[in-house]
Chains A and B, each alone.
Chain A
Amino acid sequence: MRPFEPESTNPSRSIELNSIFAIVTAVGMLALGLLMRSNTLGSSILFRDQTNGIRAQIPAQWLLDTNGGTNYIFRAEDPNGQPFKTLIQVSIRTVGPDANPQNVVDSLNVIGPSRLSNYGVLSTEPSRLGEDEAIEITYYYVQTEPNPFVQAVPIVVQGVDLVVTRGNQAIIFTYRDGRDVFEQNRFYFENFLATVEY
């Protein structure tokens, strides 16, 4: 009878292989994660409003609101944004035939304080959207929770309104976010502007 002998193994090599496998797995998962992140951040859906002639890519899984009536054409909000839900909005105003973007900006600056608490303008600069002249107004306001039973600290919100004119219409592209993450998340707005057609 052949005596029982345990199978010989090389422990150090096994550990080495496992380590390599773990590293490869981790790197692979990391790559997968980066890819998913990239897809998540970059994924978008097409928004198209044929009535108003607006077409653009907006971030996927943002809440899209087209019930703004005369206030806005659409509004998209990031449900994960905090403390402020990052917002991209397009609105249209009727203007006179001789109006230029600056006239619209003046109007916005007049209306702002009545609609937004502690509204203030940070800058007003000429800009461009594609080949069109535009004016970019950067402002801030304080968003407070109207429900007294909700204990929320007021949020300082920074916003950008990019105003272009189209015939007798002024199109206002808006981006708003919490002041602390305003620049960090601005790429959403830039990506949006890069795809917008009007």
Chain B
Amino acid sequence: MSRYRYGLVLVLGLLSLSFGIWRLTTSQAQDTGDPLVILNEDNIKKATVLVMQVSDRGSTPIINCVGTGTLVNASGLVLTNAHIVQETDECTYDRIVIALTIRVDEPPVPTYNADVVELNRGYDLAVLRITSYLDGRLIETNTLQLPFVELGNSNQLQLDSTLYFFGYQDIDNKVVQVQRGTVSGFTAEKQIGDRAWIRTEANLPGLMSGGGAFDRDGRLVGIPTILPERVAGTVVDCRQIYDTNNDGQIDDVDRCIPIGGPISALRPARLARGLVQAATLGIQPGPSRSQYEDPLSVDPPTITNLFVATGINEAEMPINVVQTAPTGISNLYLFFDYANMTNGMIYELRTTIDGRREQALSLPPVAWNGGGRGMWYIGVSAPTLPVGLYEFTLFIEGRQAASKSFLVGGDTSNTPQFSDLVFGIDNALGELTGTNYVVPEGNIIRARFAYRNMAVGTVWGFQWSLDGVPLAGEGGASTLTWESENAQGTFTDLAISSESGFTSGTYRLTLFIQPNPDADLQLAALSDFIVAGGAGGANNAEAQIFSEFRFAQGQQATQPVNVVTGNFAANVPAIYAFFNWRQLAPGTPWTYRWLVDNDVLLEEHTRWPLENDGENFYLALIGSPTLPDARYTLEIEINGIPFTSNVSAGVGLGQLPVEAFASAEGIQMTGTVIDAETGQGVRDAFFIVLRSDFSVEDFTWNANQVLGRAQTDRNGFFQVPILVPRGTEELPLLYSILIYAEGYYPATADGIGVTDTTRSPLDIQVVMNRD
């Protein structure tokens, strides 16, 4: 419309001033039909993406593997499974492509390339960052304003909690679907503990792996996870859908794209929170002095010594080993020893009860992360585990590796039992002291355990071993007769001594009981413990392993460079934590984690990679490009026992800036501008949202007053390209908006409140009248 004509219309328009000029409404959530649900279905669908591993063969991109992901940050962070973005024999790639759900009723559109910025193989979780367009043009990620979801509190999930699953149902029909289900249980696993997995019987398609499970508030609480099933080491669940060999036809010669089977396990969102925060802050694990690598083995993986316990302790050791369990029990932990395993292998637990497959008590194919050898457990739970004969069968790479039968419902009331094994050393009076699961090097190790239902004359035995090898000599193993007249109590007279002393390593004490004269000795209790370090601390009974913690800006030839005793200056690219160690055997399992302002961001379960004693081991964190101001804390644990106390350093101000997570905590403001007469969207309208300290009346057309602005598209849709900061329920931030479109009366509004409970995106509908 010309400017001249605009003037004429203006005259006539004066007459219509008495009519309503505009109407404005806001809406936040779709009607799901369930009054308790405030799920924003469209937003979650748009935040659901297809993750594709793509190889560039000449100018032709070849899609090798696919999975689902979820945008967890407006600037393009995608949460997905680690196995989806790791290269394997079946999945190799030159780049990762992110396909966005632009329109919720259409398949996703490949839009961006992404890089892996955080990855935890043990959790099978990874965070990607969108970095460039498909043509290679780089993106300033802070300019992206993509729909995203917020992480919820997966710890609040209860049995039968409702979940909404978003993802792609089938590789041939890639429209985001919503599937409803419930929490059917939880599965425990070593290194993570209880609730390592959330279980559901929703029977999700395998392509949903890496996607999202949402609670009623629309917050991401779980990540559906499954690996493609294998038989005899070969992926069997795969499809030929792309012309991967570029011969112009899709046939059996093309690469078979692996798709997992039905999903019944979700990784809790709490395991992803640290990874997402680290990615948001641009913090990544830096180099370390050395990394443990399992010795290469040509032997096949082995699983041995399966047994069942009804509880675990803080060192993730069995509290009590049982041969049968009584009716009404709710937890069972299947323990086993393993060897020749490799991280990334697919392992699976199939459980049957009286021959009937129990999906909720099984563990679907997931990635192994326990290293080459050790002891592992999987815990199954239910409010009341069904009575019956359980058959636990473990599969490694699709091959049956071991199985264990177990009866729930037997009478255990009079069964002699040992439990609660713990270890320590003797004090000057010959009494057990310093009980835990890391014992300092010395000449004696004493065990304590509880017993009950023991009768005089009951045959029992013990076996001490080091790294799987029975300890020889007197006291290493014996079969005895129970002498105490007390049926239950605490036994502390079991010790092993050595004149030359016990060297560092992973030890084990196994206890046996002969339940009746006609039976063989049966496993009654078992626990691993670590011998490491020298005696020190309280009662001289604590293992002293690590010492002289210090921070530096770098390292050169393993020596710290620019040691920092106070706070690091702001904008340092990296911080290095150095420490010395002693009497710590190579291969000893240990855990370290980095906390930023007391939140765990990165955690690694690994094994000690170097010789027993040494100086200047270092771990580092690196920033992208610099580390944000914060307090960085390093924690080290062995067998659940902490070996650090307040090992921390500040960077800059020593705490995260208030706006550190603003990009994830603000809300998106979207909406549609509609013509009052036609009901059609008004294109090219100019939407302005003012900073919260300005009202429409204050507005003087100065951009300093403008928080954000947007232009409507051909459908009248707009999205403000910044996140709008939140206030609180008590003190909401009030925003003013102005909308201009040629040929329409301007529309304005004050007092649009944004609080900490306002749902994102805040959808604003504006109806404008022609002038």
Q: How many residues of A contact B (CB 8 A)?
A: 35
Q: Which of B3, B683, B710 has the most CB of A within 10 A?
A: B3
- Chain A's interface: helix, strand, loop or mixed, by majority? loop
Q: Are B684 and A83 in contact (CB under 8 A)?
A: yes
Q: Are B11 and A41 in contact (CB under 8 A)?
A: no
Binds B, one of A57-65, A93-101, A157-165: A57-65
Q: Are B713 and A151 in contact (CB under 8 A)?
A: yes
Minimum C-beta distance from B690 to chain A (A)? 11
Q: Are A33 and B703 in contact (CB under 8 A)?
A: no
Binds B, one of A122-130, A140-148, A168-176: A140-148
Residues A116-158 near B (CB distance < 8 A): 145-153
Which residue of B701, B704, B721 contacts A67 across the interface (Cβ within 8 Å)?
B704
Is B36's CB within 8 Å of the partner chain A?
Answer: no
Is A32's CB within 8 Å of the partner chain B?
Answer: yes
Q: Given A80-B740, A145-B713, check contact A32 B686 (CB 8 Å).
A: no
Instruction: Write out the residue numbers on chain A whose beta carbons fall within 8 Å of the beta carbon of B706.
Output: 63
Instruction: Write out the residue numbers on chain A whose beta carbons fall within 8 Å of the beta carbon of B741.
Output: 80, 82
Q: Which of A32, A60, A150, A151 has the most CB of B within 10 A?
A: A150
Give bound CA distance, A151 to B711, whole Å: 11
Instruction: Write out the residue numbers on chain B whose beta carbons fall within 8 Å of the beta carbon of A41.
Output: 3
The chain B residue sitting closest to A82, CB to CB, is B684
Q: Are B14 and A149 in contact (CB under 8 A)?
A: no
Is B4's CB within 8 Å of the partner chain A?
Answer: yes
Q: Are B683 and A82 in contact (CB under 8 A)?
A: yes
Residues A47-87 near B (CB distance < 8 A): 60-67, 75, 79-83, 85
Give bound CA distance, A32 to B701, whole Å: 26
Q: Given A36-B10, A80-B686, check contact A151 B715 (CB 8 Å).
A: yes
Instruction: Write out the residue numbers on chain A whose beta carbons fall within 8 Å of the beta carbon of B109.
Output: 148
Which residue of A34, A62, A148 contacts B7 across the interface (Cβ within 8 Å)?
A34
The chain B residue sitting closest to A153, CB to CB, is B714
Q: Are A33 and B7 in contact (CB under 8 A)?
A: yes
Give bound CA distance, A147 to B145, whole Å: 7
Give bound CA distance, A153 to B714, whole Å: 8
Q: Are B686 and A79 in contact (CB under 8 A)?
A: yes
Minimum C-beta distance from B387 to chain A (A)? 54
Binary flags per residue of B1-21, CB closer than 8 Å to A gives 1, else 0? 011101110110010000000
Q: Given A37-B4, A80-B741, check contact A66 B701 (CB 8 Å).
A: no
Q: Given A66-B703, A80-B741, A153-B714, check contact A148 B10 (CB 8 Å).
A: no
Give bound CA distance, A61 to B740, whole Å: 11
Q: Are B703 and A150 in contact (CB under 8 A)?
A: no
Q: Given A29-B11, A80-B742, A151-B717, check contact A67 B144 (CB 8 Å).
A: no
Give bound CA distance, A145 to B717, whole Å: 13
Instruction: Write out the residue numbers on chain B whose beta carbons fall within 8 Å of the beta carbon of A38.
Output: 7
Q: Given A37-B6, A80-B742, check contact A61 B701 (CB 8 Å).
A: yes
Is B718's CB within 8 Å of the partner chain A?
Answer: yes
Minimum C-beta distance from B131 to chain A (A)? 14
The chain B residue sitting closest to A74, CB to CB, is B703
Which residue of B111, B709, B713 contacts A150 across the interface (Cβ within 8 Å)?
B713
Is A46's CB within 8 Å of the partner chain B?
Answer: no
Is B313's CB within 8 Å of the partner chain A?
Answer: no
Q: Are B711 and A152 in contact (CB under 8 A)?
A: yes
Is B702's CB within 8 Å of the partner chain A?
Answer: yes
Q: How many residues of B contact A (CB 8 A)?
A: 42
Give bound CA distance, A64 to B709, whole Å: 13
Give bound CA distance, A147 to B100, whole Å: 11
Give bound CA distance, A83 to B683, whole Å: 8
Instruction: Write out the residue numbers on chain B whose beta carbons fall within 8 Å of the beta carbon of A37.
Output: 3-4, 6-7, 10
Instruction: Write out the residue numbers on chain B whose beta carbons fall within 8 Å of the beta carbon of A79.
Output: 686, 688, 740
Is A17's CB within 8 Å of the partner chain B?
Answer: no
Instruction: Write out the residue numbers on chain B whose beta carbons fall within 8 Å of the beta carbon of A62.
Output: 701
Give bound CA distance, A38 to B686, whole Å: 23
Q: Are A148 and B111 in contact (CB under 8 A)?
A: yes
The chain B residue sitting closest to A38, CB to CB, is B7
Is A30's CB within 8 Å of the partner chain B?
Answer: yes
Give bound CA distance, A32 to B8, whole Å: 10
Give bound CA distance, A62 to B6, whole Å: 17
Is B562's CB within 8 Å of the partner chain A?
Answer: no
Q: Are A33 and B714 in contact (CB under 8 A)?
A: no
Minimum C-beta distance from B457 to chain A (A)? 78
Q: Are A150 and B719 in contact (CB under 8 A)?
A: yes
Q: Are A32 and B11 in contact (CB under 8 A)?
A: yes
Q: Are A149 and B6 in contact (CB under 8 A)?
A: no
Q: Are A149 and B102 in contact (CB under 8 A)?
A: yes
Q: Are A149 and B684 in contact (CB under 8 A)?
A: no
Give bound CA distance, A34 to B721, whole Å: 37
Q: Given A34-B7, A37-B3, check contact A64 B683 (CB 8 Å).
A: no
Give bound CA distance, A61 to B686, whole Å: 13
Minimum C-beta distance from B532 to chain A (A)? 54
Instruction: Write out the residue numbers on chain A whose beta carbons fall within 8 Å of the beta carbon of B714.
Output: 151-153
Binary flags per residue of A173-193, CB closer than 8 Å to B gives 1, else 0? 000000000001000000000
Is B666's CB within 8 Å of the partner chain A?
Answer: no
Q: Are A36 and B7 in contact (CB under 8 A)?
A: yes
Q: Are A64 and B8 in contact (CB under 8 A)?
A: no
Give bound CA distance, A33 to B9, whole Å: 8
The chain B residue sitting closest to A145, CB to CB, is B713
Instruction: Write out the residue numbers on chain B whose beta carbons fall within 8 Å of the beta carbon of A149.
Output: 46, 100, 102, 146-147, 717, 719
Minimum C-beta distance from A29 to chain B (A)? 5
The chain A residue sitting closest to B718, CB to CB, is A150
Q: Are A65 and B703 in contact (CB under 8 A)?
A: yes
Minimum C-beta distance from A106 to chain B (A)? 24
The chain A residue sitting closest to B111, CB to CB, is A148
Additional A-B contacts beyond A29-B14, A41-B3, A147-B144 (14; CB < 8 A): A30-B8, A37-B6, A63-B688, A63-B702, A63-B706, A64-B702, A67-B703, A82-B684, A85-B711, A147-B145, A147-B146, A148-B109, A149-B100, A153-B714
16 A-B residue pairs with CB within 8 Å:
A29-B11, A29-B14, A33-B11, A37-B6, A67-B704, A75-B703, A79-B686, A80-B741, A85-B686, A85-B711, A148-B102, A148-B109, A149-B717, A150-B718, A152-B713, A152-B714
Sort A-B residue pairs by CB-CB distance and give the 6 closest, nearest first.
A37-B7, A33-B11, A65-B703, A82-B684, A79-B686, A79-B740
* Chain B residues with a Cβ under 8 A of chain A: 2-4, 6-8, 10-11, 14, 46, 100, 102, 109, 111, 139, 143-147, 683-684, 686, 688, 701-704, 706, 709-711, 713-715, 717-719, 721, 740-742
* Chain A residues with a Cβ under 8 A of chain B: 29-30, 32-34, 36-38, 40-41, 60-67, 75, 79-83, 85, 145-153, 184
